[in-house]
Amino acid sequence: MLRAEGDEKEMQVTRLGQCFQALCPCVVSRSRPARSEDGDRAPGTVPAAVATFAAVGTSLLKRLQDNEGDRVETYRELESVLQGDDGCWTSGVVNRLLAEASSDMRAAQGVTVNVKTAASDVLVALARSHFHFVMSEIQSHLKAVGKVPDEIVLLTLGKMARSYALRCIPFVGMTLLALRTMLSRVRSGRILRAVCSVLEQWSKGVNTYFGSREQGPFPRKGVARFCEAIYPLFCYTVVNWLDCKEEEDKQAVLGAVAAMMGVLLHAEQHREHAWEQLPWLLHQYQEVRDTSRVTKGLSYVLEVLEGAQTPIPQGMALAISTAVHRQLSDVTQEPGPAHKAALSHCIVLQARMCPKETVVFLHSQLSSGSVAGRMAALGLLGALAHSDAPAMREKLPQVVEAVQSVCNDPSAQVRRAVLEFIRELLSSGSQSCWAWDVVGHIFVEFSRTSGRLAAGGLFPWETQEDGALGALCMDILGSLDVSLSGMTKLLWPRLLQYVVPAQYSGMLIPLSRCLRALVERRERAGCREEEEEPDAMDPQEQARLPAAQALLTRLLVVAAAPYASSERAAAALQLLQALHSRIHRALGAAWATEIPLLLQYLEGKNESSQASAEWEHRVLKFLRASLEPIEDKAWTVGLIQELSQQLGSSAPGSWEKLFLCKALGTALAACRDLRHLQGQVLRVLQETKPMELSEAQGMISVVSRAAESHFHLVLDMVTMFSTAFTRGCFYQTSTGWKVQRRQKTESARAVCAALMRTYSGIALRAPKEQLLSRVDKEILGNILRLSRAKQRDLQLKLALVQSITEVSCAIQAVGDCGSFELSLKQEAMRTLLDWIKGEPWDSVVYGVFQALEELSKLRPPLSREENRNLLAVCCWSVFYPSKAQMNKGRKTVRAAVNMQLLHRRGMEDLGHLIETLLEAEESCFDDVVHVLKGWLTSAKEWERERALCVCARVLGACKERSELTRGRPCKQLGSLVGLLGTLTSDCLATSRQKAWVCLGYLLQMQAKTTKVVPQTDEIRCLCEGLNSPDAKIMVETSTKIAKAVCKCIPPAQATDFVTAVLDRLLHIAPTGAGAVWKWVFVFLVECRKEILREVPKILKTLYTYMQQSTHRPFLLHAVFLLSHFHREPVISSLLQKGLPMDSDTVELWRSLGRSTFGIQVLRCLVEKLNRARNNRLGTDSSACERHNRQTALEAVTITCAISEVALALRSMEELRQLLPHLLPSLLRWAGETLGKERLLSPVSSWRQLFLEGQVLEEKLCRIFLSAIELVLGKCMAQKWMRLLMNQAVWARLEDPLAHPEGVRLLSSVLLHAGLISPHLAKNLLPRLDSCSVKLQLTRLTSASGRGARFCHPNKRPSSNPAGRGRARTESHERKGRKKSKAGEGRRGGKGRTPKERRGR
């Protein structure tokens, strides 16, 4: 060790010298004569590098003498230089350095401890090349008379002994003598510790000399001489210093005593006295805090004893073992790893000298004592087992026997210690058979811990302990060294027998490594036999080796298991490849290709369940490929039997059992013995208990996989079993007690369900070319037959759904089916729909929609009526139940949450079903929209929300599949936008968001059709406002969205849009009507130019809705907006309503009259009335007569409209300005219809029209006169109206004979009332026969340039407020529409109207 340290220092000095050469180029590198150690010149020259070192050292020494810089740093640099010096310094330099360092070491004041220590280190470094100079200097300080040397001097002396042990031997006597003279003056403290350090280091130096006396540079000296020098010091130390109180003093004395004991044990005369101090040394474990110093001393003593070959007294061995064991088992102050190693080393040293006593002691500690004691004993036994001493090799059987007694200790810590012992034993390289018997315990312990962890119910700390034990077992097995000679036959039977048992599968990774290594050794050895022990493998071990089929089965199970890590699967596959010759000779070539591919797949495998299923499929495919080249029927039958045996021993419901079922089915598919195949299939069908779902699934896997290669045979076997079972089922379930009948019924239903799923499994696994011939009647027919139970339980229903789904998928997987049509498709669909109608919630939970989806893909296709019925039933089952209904009967929150999740899955399944229907038939989109509209307009918010979710799903699918529309516009766009747009103001925030999503999809679809950029980005920015709790902000946001969306509606679908919005209003609360109407208003304003052609249809829609709605103000405002932009079309459409007017039509005309553009409406009606007069033809033919009648009827309708508009008109001045055009037209039509009471009667079509109106005026002129009366009542004061009544003007105007007189009187009153304008006068002149009135009107006409109107010369014109005469005018209107035949009789044959009576 000292020599190694010296070499390292020399390398450091060499590197430092190179640094100095680079840093000190000024130093001249020249040769000089070399000097010996005593100062004499030696021959030869000094190398340049040495001269450089000397120069640097001289420079540093000068710096010390001049007291320049940091002295500590200077000393450190000097020390580095001295470590590279080879003794080429001059005596003068050495003396000056000794003087300077000694001065600093002995300085009483002004020198720090660091400087003294640095000076001491420099002297020790200087001793490397000038040992005698330094030792003489130190000895001079040591021999100072009358005082104790300085502490630093003593420490330097100890360093000298530690660094140059053998070179100090000549100075041992004088040094110990000098120390002996000063012991009496040493009390305690730093000096005592320094003296103890000197004693310890010099004593160890003597022991070092004892061990290498043959190689020492000095003459050999006897042991007694050194012992005599040390013994007085030892005695003084034992007598005076053993009872020190300070911890540091105790540690120093302990080291010195142990070192001196090591010297004295070499001399027989002092050995007894030295042994007497061993109890004190062991007692220090209880006295000192740092017990590692005690262990170090004890270890030093034992090493000396071993080197001196001195026996340990009988009592002392027990004391040492007890003390060391107590330290290792002390739970209050557990030693560290280094201390534990030192304690174990002590026991190993003792066992080399006293093996029997040590083993007996440790065995006794295993059988009694605490857990910590047993653990300590096991650790020490492990150290002994790892020892290479011949004495311990002989005792190994006893050691192993002792450890085996605690293998089943209840303490996990003890069992862990046992495993650690086994590790040490196995790593010792022993080739004895008894040593390897403990390998089995590794597997036993792993099985125990893994079983406890799998069972559960452990405390956290127990789980942690068992997990650590299992990991330790794997680590020990993984560290086995199988490369030792003779290990192949020794390990092969012991390790191979642990491959097949399932409880050891967790150890497969290290086990596979060991076995593969052994196989490689066997292959390298070939037929040559290695040097093995003759009893390496006995016949019993040979019999316990597993069969080839058992190895293949177990390794396949391990390889396919869904572990989080793929290392175990890779280990199983690698072991399979290594054992291919043992399993079957035909597998080598196949596995050389297949297994590397599987390993390559494992490298990129993730931990998802989908990847696990794919991996399992690959493993089963690998099994099938492995069985193909094997032509030995007996071997395949043996594999089937082995699979069946392991299947029977697997845990029910476990993954392993299900995989074994799949593997058994795969093996049956490869079986060439058909009789054995039939027997196995029939046995599986008969022995399976399908009451357990896992058992039923296993049966399905076996039978369906067997059908891959034997489709017809297996299907016939299942059909035969099914037929026999259904025959005896009725008798079995109808006999026995009630409880027995119920049990038999449940069992029969379970068998039926399992058979149904077996049929569908066979369909999935059947060869495609053979499936279609038997799938309709024999597979689907038998499934439907088995499902026709009187009372279907959920298991049977679930089996029905799954079977129909799988059969449908199997048919689709065939690909091109040609003209094949599934004749039982309608029956299967009816069965599923009946279940949905009867138990809607259960059908949603058990995935009926998935079955319907797959079934709808098959031919024959569904009709439109069937599609709508299917959609209606499915939507009803999902949309109708509320959350309260779904949570009914669910007592826990978790159950309620699960129901919500199941309902959400049902919604997704419904979406998939609709997407499938859309893919199958383009026209189905209209059916979907038709069904969803009813739910989108529902009054229940949850139904609207769910319908919106499905609608979003459907529209999203349509958007992605743009080919659905074939480049043509979506016919349902207008109605969908109207419906979805109004839902952006729904009470639920989720519904509002979903409505926006649907609108976005619609806009994107429309953009693809019209090839324009969609405005989805613009609208997306507005959608955040839909989540606002403020209703005002929400309505404003909805309005902004409406402005952006309505621009995308095709004009041809404007009516659909309005109709959809109005339909939504029928199911909405009055408080939300305003937000919905906003969409209509925005649409009418934003799209006013585009909807011109659709105005009549829109108005008709509004009129129709007016008869049902309670939102009349909103509707009237919509008509107002429509009329504001399209006055002519609106008026024309209203005039087509016919006579008599209903209340809704009257209200519409009056609303137009009250509007801001009421006078424009009235002017338009007047123009229409005039055009109607001008359109009249002559009476030359019947066609002209019919035309004139139609024109007259049109004029009547216009006149009625004029009456209603004028009645509601607010501006009287504008009405007066319109009189020149209105009044002459009305008078003209009144005059033309005089005496034509039954003008329309001969025409059957008009009669029918009038009968539909229920009431019609017989005298058409009265309609025109009533209009004149109403208009004048709005324009004139009340007194003028009374004057007209008093003068019987209205009666005269109705009388054909008195009509001219009536016109004259009317004109006269108008003239006096100041309502005759020049234009009106000009229009009235042709109808007057009174000269005076004509004269007045002529004057008015001639004076038209001076004024717009003239008044009566005696009276000023007065205003006629509309409010003053309105009540009377409306009353007159109501009375004028009634017939009064009684009044006609009182006029002497001519009827009198109420107006005439009032005139009189």
- The pLDDT tens digits of the residues spanning 966-989 come to 455 677 888 888 888 888 888 888
Closest CA to 489 of 541, 557, 552: 541
List b or e across 649-668, with b for residues whose CB sees 16 or more CB atoms inside 10 angstroms: ebeeeebbbbbbbbbbbbbb
Q: How confident is the model at residue 47 (pLDDT cuts 50, 70, 90)?
A: very low
User: Is residue 520 scored above 60 in pLDDT?
Assistant: yes
Higher pLDDT, 1364 or 540: 540
pLDDT for the residue numbered 1380: 34
pLDDT > 70 fraction of the chain, expressed in percent and rounded: 80
Q: In Å, what is the CA distance from 160 to each residue of 191, 221, 573, 1272? A: 17, 20, 65, 143
pLDDT for the residue numbered 703: 96
pLDDT for the residue numbered 805: 93
How much is the mean pLDDT over the chain? 79
The pLDDT tens digits of the residues spanning 1118-1143 come to: 989 999 999 999 998 888 887 778 88
Single-letter amino acid code for the residue at 114 = N
Mean predicted confidence (pLDDT) in 590-611: 81
Q: How confident is the model at residue 572 (pLDDT cuts 50, 70, 90)?
A: very high
Residues 907, 953: Cα–Cα separation, whole Å: 10
The pLDDT tens digits of the residues spanning 434-455 come to: 555 678 888 989 999 988 888 8
Q: Are 656 and 560 in contact (CB under 8 A)?
A: no
Mean predicted confidence (pLDDT) in 1170-1177: 77
Residues 1039, 1044: Cα–Cα separation, whole Å: 9
1394: exposed, middle or buried (Cβ count in 10 Å: 0-12, 13-18, 19+)? middle
Higher pLDDT, 882 or 1209: 1209
Mean predicted confidence (pLDDT) in 359-375: 85
Closest CA to 762 of 701, 685, 707: 707
The pLDDT tens digits of the residues spanning 893-924 come to: 666 777 777 778 888 888 888 888 888 776 78
737: exposed, middle or buried (Cβ count in 10 Å: 0-12, 13-18, 19+)? exposed
Which residues contact residue 7 at a Cβ distance below 8 angstroms, ignoring those fewer than 6 apart?
none
Residues 1272, 1264: Cα–Cα separation, whole Å: 12
pLDDT for the residue numbered 640: 94
Closest CA to 102 of 55, 146, 152: 152
Top mean pLDDT of 480-494, 609-623, 1225-1239 is at 609-623
Residue 749 CA from chain centroid, whole number: 39
Return phi, psi of residue 34, to 5°.
Answer: -85, 150
pLDDT for the residue numbered 19: 40
Higher pLDDT, 853 or 1339: 853
DSSP 509-532: HHHHHHHHHHHHHHHHHTTPPP--
Residues 324, 306: Cα–Cα separation, whole Å: 18
pLDDT for the residue numbered 622: 95
Going by the DSSP 8-state scheme, the letter that residue 776 receives in this structure is: I
The pLDDT tens digits of the residues spanning 690-716 come to: 888 889 999 999 999 999 999 999 999
The pLDDT tens digits of the residues spanning 1268-1318 come to: 888 888 888 888 888 888 888 888 888 888 888 888 888 888 888 887 777
Residues 540, 136: Cα–Cα separation, whole Å: 78
State both tokens at 203. 């004593």
Going by the DSSP 8-state scheme, the letter that residue 863 receives in this structure is: P
Pairing between β-strand 41-45 and β-strand 33-35 as defined by DSSP bridges: antiparallel
Mean predicted confidence (pLDDT) in 317-324: 88
Residues 518, 360: Cα–Cα separation, whole Å: 37
Strand partners, 41: 35
Q: How confident is the model at residue 827 (pLDDT cuts 50, 70, 90)?
A: very high
DSSP 1173-1224: HHT---SSSHHHHHHHHHHHHHHHHHHHHHHHHHHH---HHHHHHHHHHHHH
Mean predicted confidence (pLDDT) in 142-168: 82
pLDDT for the residue numbered 27: 33
pLDDT for the residue numbered 436: 56
The CB density around residue 1391, as the number of other CB atoms within 10 Å, is 17
pLDDT for the residue numbered 609: 54
User: Is residue 1369 scored above 80 in pLDDT?
Assistant: no
pLDDT > 90 fraction of the chain, expressed in percent and rounded: 16
pLDDT for the residue numbered 368: 74
**Poorest-pLDDT segment among 257-261, 885-889, 1189-1193:** 885-889
Q: Are 210 and 267 in contact (CB under 8 A)?
A: no
Residues 1251, 1001: Cα–Cα separation, whole Å: 51
The CB density around residue 730, as the number of other CB atoms within 10 Å, is 10
User: Is residue 67 scored above 90 in pLDDT?
Assistant: no
Using alpha carbons only, how large is the chain's radius of gyration in Å? 59
User: Is residue 530 scored above 50 in pLDDT?
Assistant: no
Residues 1317, 1312: Cα–Cα separation, whole Å: 12
Map residue 33 onto helix, strand or coil. strand
pLDDT for the residue numbered 574: 94
The CB density around residue 824, as the number of other CB atoms within 10 Å, is 18
Sign of the dihedral through C-alpha 992, 994, 997, 998? negative
Closest CA to 705 of 793, 824, 616: 616
